[in-house]
Structure 1
Amino acid sequence: MKSSVQRSPVDALPGTVGTARVDRRTRDLLPRLRPGDIAVIDHLDLDRGTAQALVDAGVVAVVDAAATISGRYPNLGPQTLAAAGVVIVDGIGASGVAGITDGAEVRIDDGAVFVGGVEVASGRVLDEDSVAEEMELARTGLATQLSGLTHNSTELLRREQDLLLHGLGVPRLATPIAGRSVVVVALEYDHEAELAGVRAFLREQHPVVIGVGAAADALRRAGVRVDIVVVDAAEDLPSAAALRGARDVVVRADRGSTPAVAEQIERLGVRPSLIETAAAPADAALVLADAADPTIIVAVGMRATISELLDSQRPGAAGTYLTRLKLGPRLVDAAAVPHLYSGRVRPWHLLLVMLAGFVALAAAISVTPVGHEWAQTLADTCSDLYDQALGLFS
């Protein structure tokens, strides 16, 4: 969806005008953004999730102190901004950010940033064509990034082999999973579209639903019952209603730590289980489901490809890579479900097939001599019945 880029009037100075919102931490900036703002950030290799959040906030421009595309790998954020019509200026440096006051009216024209009519910073302008060129060049850096991912995966496997390979340390759950299908929902990537795609599967197959963090609240708002909630000891908890409504609550924590959120959850009248791992909460949820021997696990709102893993810029990318290798054919991405599952056969489906068969049979018989005789007899019978009915009413 294209955002409407604000332009100054014809008789005024050219460029894009908006209110500057400044914060080096993009995550902290997002809640303060309003439609028409200009986001001033310091974000090397902008990822797609953050870019989509900026687009959803309605910003008209993004000014980045760092390189939005550094060339290390083809990150997906700039493509999202450019496709939405957001003006992108990057590489203005820390001194450029220092010249922009939070809340000031800013004008951007051809890579120059003006505050009060004075140019305070300048950088590189990126549009859809230049982003495509930069992305193509950045693909040459994939080999180096993959080498780093492989090294991190080896180190993680050495530390987490008991959990990932043998399931040791997985808590016992009250929710029965063995022999059932499981849907694990996270809010990492395009979860709304993927959740809409598995609606029929949720409605007809009644799988076990695991909500990761804030996904538990999103599922409740969508009218989906959550059986298990997995929370991260280092992140905010979902609502008390989501925690109380689940049959199991599992806290992911680093090994040897004592998570304070466990006490918070207990104060709500819920006794949580604990899984100690360095893997991300979504990966811990997948491991949790896999250990209980389900028939299939559907992953909703999770990154799957190498480009998406690298684009996420999180330390747990190695954990995601190993988890998917561990689950193997049991794991299905939600994007594939609409192509693989068309829904359960209902009685009215069979009725329509039978009716179509009867129509085809009648059409075939009607062209034979016997069919003509039956048709004439049926017509005579209907005529007699009609005459008798008229006689009764008269």
Structure 2
Amino acid sequence: MKFAVRSRPAPALPGVRGPARIHRRTASLLGRLHVGDVAVLDHLDMDRDTAQALIDAGVVAVVNSGPMVSGRFPNLGPERLVEAGVLVVDNAGPGVFERLKDGTDVRIDAGVLHAGDTLVATGREVTAELVRSEMGRARSGLSAQLESFTHNSTEFLRREQDLLLHGQGVPRTATDMAGRPVVVTVRSHGWQDELRGIKPFVREQRPVLVGVDHGADALAKAGHRPDVVVVSGVDDLPSAAVLRKARDVVVLVERGAPRSATEQLERLGIRPLRFETTATAEDAALLLASAREASLIVGVGMHATLDEFLDRRRAGLASTFLTRLKVGPDLVDASAVPQLYDGAVRPRHLVGALIAGALAVGAAVSVTPVGQQWVDDLSPVVTSSTTDLIDNVRGTLP
């Protein structure tokens, strides 16, 4: 007679699990990510904006075929991922793209990537201590990057001198910006807090709202409808619903680009405005607002600190530097707006207004015949009441 034997479940293997989403280009991968995914990509010197986009997508791990910090400059992406609790593995090697299929359930433990019982790749787990060490070495190599930056700035100014100096080439939007404040939103680190901070300003001043790439989705998520959307290309567009609601959609294209460069937007029923420039989408939005004579430009999610500025890609660094010089007198960071502008009406303001109004009405009525009659009628009553009060006080004295 055989007895049934209860088998014990196999112990859970250590590590982080999730379906792998694979693409060498991070921009193409971001639109396909879901909560719990493992992002497998090839991104040298990941910047903080890209890291924040991965965090917002809800990934549990990031596997980079190359190094997260090459040492050329102190990029902020790895630090942001580690701070957010995302497991980071780099130097996994280019073979990871051949040995792993998109959607495969994977497990990562101690820098080793498994697909079932198969070892797919071995990399290096990026910890907070490792990030601090490599960032320190990267900062020592900034001198070479600054020399390259000087050259790139000269080249960018040569290419874009008509745009920077005279505003030539900026498309004419249906949205009128002349004499109006403009809020340019980039979906970057801290954009939620900055949008909440300028809510009174947006409600009362009704500025033109410009969303840059997925900054348009950020505006919609915060309850606003973007008037203008500026996109850097058609590979990773904001949601179609947001694009259709915008009054103007501006797409950046290379000079002389064929009409096919905007066909994807046209298939969505959108007639985009072409902006031929090599500037980044963020800088193009600032130049657009400046050329259309905005009275004030408020930047949400912009790169304000020196570390963030240096975190930009080399081509974008010159674009950002020269654009800030151009729009500097009109540009205000959104984090400063709550300190400079307070549109809230407090109770003491209402009480003061009511008292001032009552005094003004009383003064106006007192000079009319009716007002004089009221004063004459009240005078005996007031005099009699005052006399009685004085007599009562005297009677109480010893």
Q: Same fold (TM over 0.5)?
A: yes
Is 1:181 matched up with 2:181? Answer: yes
Q: 1:189: how far off? A: 4.5
Cα separation, 1, equivalents of 2:17 and 2:352 = 61
Moved more, 303-312 or 327-336: 303-312
Structure 1 counterpart SS, 2:94: helix
Counterparts of 1:371-390 in structure 2, within 5 Å, are: none
Quick check: 2:27–2:235 contact (8 Å CA) kept in 1? Answer: no
Query: In 2, are the aligned partners of 1:233 and 1:259 still within 8 Å (CA)?
Result: no
Structure 2: segments with no counterpart, 5+ residues: 1-8, 355-385, 393-398
Q: RMSD over aligned Cα, in angstroms?
A: 3.5
Work out whether residues 112 and 122 of structure 2, in 8 Å CA contact, stay in contact via their aligned partners in 1. yes
Distance in 2 separating the partners of 1:241 and 1:14 = 42
Hey, what does 1:67 align to over in structure 2? 67
Q: Mapping of 1:58-97 within 5 angstroms?
A: 58-97=58-97
The separation in 2 between residues aligned to 1:240 and 1:120, in whole angstroms, is 37
1:284 aligns with 2:284: yes
Instruction: Tell me the alpha carbon deviations over residues 292-327 of structure 1, each in whole angstroms, 9 at most, x when there is no partner.
Output: 333321112232344334434363332122111111
- In the TM superposition, what is the alpha-carbon distance from 1:281 to its structure 2 partner? 2.5
Say whether residues 1:323 and 2:289 are aligned partners. no
8 Å contact kept, 2:47–2:76: yes
- The answer to whether the 8 A contact 2:253-2:274 is kept is yes
Matches within 5 A, 1:75-224: 75-224=75-224
Cα drift, residue 183 of structure 1: 1.1
Match of 1:360 in 2: none
Whichever residue aligns with residue 227 of structure 1, its letter is D
Task: Name the SS for the 2:95 alignment partner.
Answer: helix
Once the 2 structures are TM-superposed, how far is the Cα of residue 73 of structure 1 from its aligned partner?
1.2
Q: Is the 8 A contact 2:18 2:107 kept in 1?
A: yes
Describe the shift of the 1:236–1:103 C-alpha distance in structure 2 as closer, same or farther (beyond 3 A). Answer: closer
CA distance in 1, matches of 2:249, 2:28: 28
Letter in 1 for 2:83: A
Map 1:21-36; keep pairs closer than 5 Å: 21-36=21-36
Separation in 2 of the partners of 1:150 and 1:72?
16
Change (3 A) 1:213 1:353: same
Tell me, what secondary structure is at the counterpart of 1:121?
strand
Q: Structure 1: which 5+ residue stretches go unaligned?
A: 1-8, 356-373, 381-394
CA distance 1:261–1:215, change in 2 (3 Å): farther
**Counterpart-to-counterpart distance in 2, 1:171 and 1:12:** 58
For residues 37 and 267 of structure 1, what CA distance do their matches in structure 2 show?
Answer: 30
Distance 1:353 1:10, change over 3 A: farther
Q: How many residues align?
A: 350
Alpha-carbon distance between aligned partners in 1 of 2:268 and 2:39, rounded to the nearest angstrom:
38
The AA in structure 1 aligned to 2:343 is R
Question: What is the CA distance between 1:177 and its match in structure 2?
Answer: 2.9
Shift of 1:139: 1.1
State how far apart, in whole Å, the 1-side matches of 2:30 and 2:231 are. 22
Query: For 2:210, what is the secondary structure of its paired residue?
Result: strand
CA spacing shift, 1:345–1:57, aligned 2, 3 Å: closer
Structure-2 residue corresponding to 1:344: 343
Task: Indicate if the aligned counterparts of 2:65 and 2:90 stay in contact, CA closer than 8 A.
Answer: yes
CA distance in 1, matches of 2:99, 2:267: 47
Identify the residue that residue 332 of structure 2 maps to in structure 1. 332
8 Å CA contact 1:79, 1:128 repeated in 2: yes
Task: Tell me the TM-score normalized by structure 2.
Answer: 0.74
Indicate how the Cα distance of structure 1 residues 182 and 38 shifts in structure 2: closer, same or farther if over 3 A, else same. Answer: closer
Report the counterpart of residue 255 of structure 1 in structure 2.
255
TM-score by length of 1: 0.75
- Are the counterparts in 1 of residues 234 and 265 from structure 2 also a CA contact under 8 Å? no
Distance 2:286 2:193 in 1: 20
2:20 corresponds in structure 1 to 20
- Determine if contact 1:220/1:226 at 8 Å carries over to the other structure: yes
